[in-house]
Amino acid sequence: MCFYFKQSKEALEVANRFKLTIPETDTYVNPIIYNAFSHPLCETITSTNPSCITRLSWGLIPQWASDKSIREKTLNARIETADKVKSFKNHINNRCIVIADGFYEWKHLKTLAGNKLQKFLITSAEDNLFAFAGIYSFWYSAESNENIGTFSILTTAANELMSEIHNTKKRMPVILKKMDEQSWLQGTDLREFAYPYSVNLIASQVNDDLKIKRGGNSGLLF
């Protein structure tokens, strides 16, 4: 699963990496650590607007939903079944990539003192910035009379490294190879990506006493 990630690069570096047009006034607060459970606005690139940043709220709200509550269950979508699940199947061709430079996962440990969670930061060994595969929706809110853009991050079976860390559910976000980012946005079949990618990742143990929080400000999390 993927519920916490970070993006700490400046706007110009993001623009150069993804070949984007970014307004001169666009600046990012660094570092930003995104907490899925607070449904923050995240930097994405969508299939309909691939040359610009589109900020979408984390937790896909399908167009048929009567309210926002479903987004608590749509933070991630299993790539193997997304085309069959009611919440996702009408949006699988609404592709986006979610810009990141690291994500967090916790390893379950058994110690003499009892069960423990060890926090890890996962980064790419090949690139300062990378992209998660995502799908998105624009949902009309009658309450606020606006269209709200939302997204889910796709997950797949964990590769060898992530199986060691996410050692209970053994899942990981779909991290796109740089050469596959455009194929994803252009609608290549989901099944082409429904396997553990051979991306070169680095896992760094994070030694702090801060705990997982569900909710709260996206910049002050855990």
Q: Which residue has the higher pLDDT, 137 or 30?
A: 137
For residues 191-196, give the mean pLDDT: 84
50 pLDDT higher than 90: yes
2 is catalytic: yes
105 is catalytic: yes
Note the pLDDT of residue 30: 55
Note the pLDDT of residue 75: 98
Quote the percentage of the chain above a pLDDT of 90: 69
For residues 202-210, give the mean pLDDT: 80
d(Cα 210, Cα 180) in Å, to the nearest integer?
35
Note the pLDDT of residue 218: 43
Q: Where residue 221 falls among pLDDT bands split at 50, 70, 90?
A: very low
Q: Which among 125, 77, 105, 81 is positioned nearest to 168, based on CA atoms?
A: 105
Given the residues 2, 42, 43, 96, the one annotated as active site: 2
What value does the mean pLDDT of the chain take? 89
- Inter-residue contact 108 to 167 (CB < 8 Å): yes
Given the residues 42, 43, 96, 105, the one annotated as active site: 105
**CATH classification for the domain delimited by 4-206, as one of 2.40.180.10, 3.40.50.720, 3.90.1680.10, 3.40.1360.10:** 3.90.1680.10
Q: Which residue has the higher pLDDT, 210 or 28?
A: 28
Is the pTM higher than 0.85?
Answer: yes
Q: Where residue 129 falls among pLDDT bands split at 50, 70, 90?
A: very high
211 pLDDT higher than 60: no
Q: Which residue has the higher pLDDT, 212 or 12?
A: 12
* Residues contacting 210, CB < 8 A, separation 6+: 222
Phi then psi for residue 14, to 5 deg, are -65, -45
